[in-house]
Chain A
Amino acid sequence: DGGITQSPKYLFRKEGQNVTLSCEQNLNHDAMYWYRQDPGQGLRLIYYSQIVNDFQKGDIAEGYSVSREKKESFPLTVTSAQKNPTAFYLCASSRPEAGPGGYTFGSGTRLTVV
């Protein structure tokens, strides 16, 4: 079955370290997204990519970086510059030509800074 795989499910990071969250999809979707979820704040867009080798900043891109070298993969790196990285991170993909908002979400990665 097609879907989005995020790994790992839980991740612990020491302060000052970079860490990379994986997101892979086999839906043949062109667009991919990274959201951050904090209690009481809903989901906020970090980065998005509408096509391979291209991506744009979302609302809270500072302290994060992404790459989109393959259609199937959109990894997110949380750098040491991100001051408060502990959160739940969700990856999503969509096929815009199929109509608005048809997002498929992964099951998320919970990152904790220790």
Chain B
Amino acid sequence: GDSVTQMEGPVTLSEEAFLTINCTYTATGYPSLFWYVQYPGEGLQLLLKATKADDKGSNKGFEATYRKETTSFHLEKGSVQVSDSAVYFCALTHYNTDKLIFGTGTRLQVFP
């Protein structure tokens, strides 16, 4: 079945460092891909998405490009802030089901 694999955390960075969180997927057809963020004690918020190959999703300085040839959707940010500390989830869904399948999440800790 469909699945999402994320790099294990925690990822620990100093403020203003470059961030990459890897995400690869297994799916039939052409899924849509998402990054969600979860701040402590809260639900998930959609961070960005891409619905077809080569699309780039971006929001709040974060970016991810839908790479069908490598089945990847890596999350990047050029300069992280302490306020970016959270858990980041990669997910996919097929349009006709609208069910989200999540990766295990990656915790990001940013220190001043």
Verify A41–B46 contact, CB threshold 8 A. Answer: no
- Chain B residues positioned under 8 Å from A45 (CB to CB): 99-100
Verify A42–B105 contact, CB threshold 8 A. Answer: yes
Q: CA of A42 to CA of B104 in the docked complex: distance in angstroms?
A: 4
Given contacts A90-B43, A107-B43, A108-B42, contact A101 B93 (CB under 8 A): yes
How many of chain B's residues touch chain A, expressed as a range? 20 to 34
Verify A100–B94 contact, CB threshold 8 A. Answer: yes
Q: CA of A33 to CA of B51 in the docked complex: distance in angstroms?
A: 21
Least Cβ distance of A39 to chain B in Å?
9
Q: CA of A57 to CA of B36 in the docked complex: distance in angstroms?
A: 23
Q: CA of A6 to CA of B42 in the docked complex: distance in angstroms?
A: 11
Q: CA of A8 to CA of B46 in the docked complex: distance in angstroms?
A: 23
A102: interface (CB < 8 Å)? yes
8 Å CB contact of B43 from A41, A99, A108? A108
Chain A residues 17 to 47 lying within 8 A of chain B, measured CB to CB, are 31, 33, 35, 40-43, 45
Which of A40, A58, A92, A105 counts the most chain B CB atoms within 10 A? A105
Least Cβ distance of B94 to chain A in Å?
7
Verify B32–A101 contact, CB threshold 8 A. Answer: yes
Least Cβ distance of A56 to chain B in Å?
9
B82: interface (CB < 8 Å)? no
**Closest Cβ neighbor of B34 among chain A residues:** A101
Interface string of A91-114 (1 = CB under 8 A from B): 010101001111101111000000
A74: interface (CB < 8 Å)? no
List 14 interface pairs A-B (beta carbons < 8 Å), by A numbering: A31-B98, A42-B89, A42-B104, A43-B89, A48-B99, A58-B99, A94-B98, A99-B51, A101-B100, A103-B44, A103-B46, A106-B43, A107-B41, A107-B42
**Residues of A participating in the B interface, judged by any CB pair closer than 8 Å:** 4, 6, 31, 33, 35, 40-43, 45, 48, 50, 58, 90, 92, 94, 96, 99-103, 105-108
**Residues of B participating in the A interface, judged by any CB pair closer than 8 Å:** 32, 34, 41-46, 49, 51, 89, 91, 93-95, 98-100, 102-105
